[in-house]
Structure formats: structure tokens, C-alpha cells
Amino acid sequence: MGLTVNEDKAYSKNEEAVKLLVIGSGPAGLSAALYAARADLEPVVLTGMTMGGQAALTHLIENYPGFPEGLGGAELGDLFRAQAERFGTKVVYDTAIDVDFSQRPYRVETYNSIYVAETLIITTGATPRHLDIPGEAKFTGKGVSYCGTCDGFFFKDKEIVVVGGGDSSLEESIFLSRFASKVTIVHRRDELRGGKILQDRAFANEKINFIWDSVLEEIKGDDQVTNVTIKNVKTGDVSDFETEGVFIFIGHIPNSELFEGKLELDDAGYLVVNNLMETDKPGVYAAGEIADSHFRQVITSAGMGAAAAIQATRFLESEE
């Protein structure tokens, strides 16, 4: 059976048979590839749009064991990749655009090829959640950003607003304070969700200020952001606040659109896996943030990836 979407152009693409296809190149995907390569499965990794996943956009990772001084997310991603490639992983800069799980081997169409895969490990991760307020889309890239590491440099000596009270918001605010003259964290409650170490660092940082119990209602500007409308959710007061940048860190949405109706998803859109990383299709596994709304750490994602690869290996062995 052919692919349901893009069928017209699909037949002109090369087909490649693989024992294991890994969709995604973050810590889960590259750890899965490392384990699978060492089991001789010759895995192919589709990088997706961001080689290294969200971790690669993190300025400094201090909680991945083995690196006591911490290291950059992109640097860690390069090391993961080099280790996976050393044992025979093929990393392909391409993105899955359609999947057919109706029969094994499963078919995955990318922009350039069709992979016919005996097993699959899905590690497509998650994307930053948007506020969905007026001005947010219009000013994205013109003062609105979801990545401090990517855009912080553009805000040298400028005043910026950060939205969110979780670890990401605190970690990014601390990073952004290297560039910005002032960082104002707007949080919808009067208590932070982020961990104590990051809270202590943020409170001790002279450039970081807080506006509590408040939400952004609108982002305004001309060519670039110039100000935001802030509402105090307790008093109902609405005020205008001048700022040149708005960084939004309010959680993530799983990248599972491709699998809707094809694999079991939970109510929030995360892929459902059991403790063996198995989805509801035989030989299809998921690991990392696409299947984990709870831990979301480099080490937990890497562990899930390794577990998925071990399970895929056992599954293929059981068929021999």
C-alpha cells in the first residue's frame, strides 16, 4: 500500500530499506542511534529541522553527568552525533513528512526519499508554546522570540520582558541578562515554578526584576516591538510597559501531528508508550519529549532513547 499523502510525487523518490529509522536528532534520537548502531542495526537518523533538537539551542547544560563544568547544548549534540556515527549511524538532513503504519515494514516519506523501515524510533520532541495574544505572531523575529541562545545577542543593552515562571524562563533570563540592560520576568502567579537553584540565581541577579500575578495581553510596536500591555490578574489593572524584546517560555507542545490517527496519543498530544518505550504499533517506539511531558531532561531523554533502541534490537532478534 502506498502513502496516503503526497502519493503523486512519492513514486519518483528513492526508496531505502532500513532496519531502524530514527526520526529526530535530539538527545533521545542520537542515544537511540548509538545503541542501535552498536547492535549492528545500521540506523538512519532523520535530523528534522533542528540538528540536536531543543537541547542544541540551550546555552549551557550543567546537569548532564560526565561534564562537571557544564557544556554548550550544541557541543553536547555534536558529541552525541560523533559517538553515534563512530559505530555506523547514518545522519541525514531531512524531515519526515508522512508515515504509513498500515503494514510492516513501515513507510516514512521525507522531502527527498522514502524509507521502508523494519522498526522505528520516534524522537520528534516538542515546540515552544505560544501565548496566542495580539501582536505575538506579527512581531515574531521582530522583538518576539522563543530562544534566548538564538536571539539574546540582538538585545545587547536593551530592556526586555520574559514571560513564564518555570525553569526555562529562569534559565533563559539569567542567560539573557548577559546582554540585556534589564530583564523583567512577568509571571501569572506570585510564586515561581522553577527549581530553587535557578530561583536563587535569578533573585540574586541585579538585572532581573519580577512583575507578579500578571499576564501579557498585547504586544505592540511599529517595525519592532516597542511596548506590551500587562494585566494584573488579581486587581484587573491594565498598564503599558515599554520594552524592546519579549521572550516567551511557557512550556511546550509535542511534535506529534504526523502521528495523529496513526499512533495512540494522550489528551495533550504526547505519544503513549509503555515502560519498554513501545507505542501501540509493533516495532514502533518513542523516546524523549514526544513521549514525556514530565521529566524533559537531556539525561532522561537519552535514557529513553537507549531503552527504545535496546527494545527494537530485541524485537528484531525475536523475529529471526
Q: Which residues would be at the binding site for ligand NAP (CB under 6 A)?
A: 63, 131, 163-169, 171, 188-189, 193, 215, 249-251, 296
Half-sphere exposure of 109 (CA within 13 A, CB side): 18
What are the DSSP E strand ranges found in 187-224? 208-211, 214-221
- Measured CA to CA, the distance from residue 253 to residue 262 in angstroms comes to 18
Task: Point out the residue whose Cβ comes nearest to ligand NAP.
Answer: 166
| Rg of the chain (C-alpha set) | 21
Question: In this structure, are residues 63 and 164 in contact, taking their beta carbons and an 8 Å threshold?
Answer: no
Considering beta carbons, is residue 89 or 169 the nearer one to ligand NAP? 169
- CB environment 80-118: b (16+ within 10 A), e (fewer): bbebbbebebebbebbbebbbbeebbbbbbbeebbbbbb
Least distance from ligand NAP to the Cβ atom of residue 63, Å: 6
Least distance from ligand NAP to the Cβ atom of residue 297, Å: 6
Cα angle for residues 148, 149, 153 (degrees, 5° grid): 80
Least distance from ligand NAP to the Cβ atom of residue 34, Å: 23
Q: Of the candidates 271, 275, 299, 296, which has an alpha carbon nearest to the alpha carbon of residue 286?
A: 271
Considering beta carbons, is residue 190 or 264 the nearer one to ligand NAP? 190
Least distance from ligand NAP to the Cβ atom of residue 154, Å: 22
Least distance from ligand NAP to the Cβ atom of residue 191, Å: 8
Cα angle for residues 146, 72, 77 (degrees, 5° grid): 90
Give the residue numbers marked as catalytic.
147, 150-151
Is the backbone of residue 291 left (phi > 0), alpha (psi -120 to 50) or beta? alpha
- Measured CA to CA, the distance from residue 296 to residue 93 in angstroms comes to 24
Considering beta carbons, is residue 21 or 271 the nearer one to ligand NAP? 271
Least distance from ligand NAP to the Cβ atom of residue 173, Å: 11
Considering beta carbons, is residue 104 or 296 the nearer one to ligand NAP? 296
Residue 158: other Cβ atoms inside 10 A: 15
Question: In this structure, are residues 97 and 50 in contact, taking their beta carbons and an 8 Å threshold?
Answer: no
Considering beta carbons, is residue 2 or 195 the nearer one to ligand NAP? 195
Bridge partners of 238?
Answer: 231
Residue at grid coordinates 494584573: 232
Q: Looking at this protein, which amino acid is placed at residue 318?
A: S
Considering beta carbons, is residue 138 or 188 the nearer one to ligand NAP? 188
